Amino acid sequence: MGASGTDTFDDDDAMDWIGAFLDAPSEELIYETLERARPYCESGAASQALAAAEVVAFLRGAPSSGLLQMLEAHGTETFPLKRSPRHERLAIDAIDNISAASELRNLWEEVEGWLPEWLAALEDLRNRLTAPPTISS
């Protein structure tokens, strides 16, 4: 596992995905990535789906500090995309699948003491996807 911590963007696969996404933001890429997070998906697909879920949370007005840092480093503050309830449902399903049974979860189980912190990070992401959205004026 290429991870330096439990946050979504502490993972190499998530960083690769967000880099590609920032170069060419696309609703289709979000959809396809979230769709691959089926029960017991491989770790790379899981990490990429979590990165896509972070983008969906951002579009709801509930960004992570990690994604905001990525945007700043990329020289942008937003995406040319709109909030999508369909993506929100897919993101929540992906998080549930990944946290319940995935190769990524199995890898975190092997790292002594880190599984609870990783699950807490997933719960934070899930909460940002289910809390009432921020309304922009």
Summarize pLDDT for 14-48 with one digit per residue, the tens.
999 999 999 999 999 999 999 999 889 999 999 99
Taking only the tens place, the pLDDT of each residue in 98-124 is: 999 999 999 999 988 899 999 999 999
The pTM (predicted TM-score) of the whole model is: 0.93
For the chain, domain boundaries: 8-130
Q: Which distant-in-sequence residues (6+ apart) come within 8 Å of 100 by Cβ?
A: 39
Burial 25-55, CB ≥16 within 10 A → b, else e? eebebbeebbeebeeebebbbbbbbbbbbbb
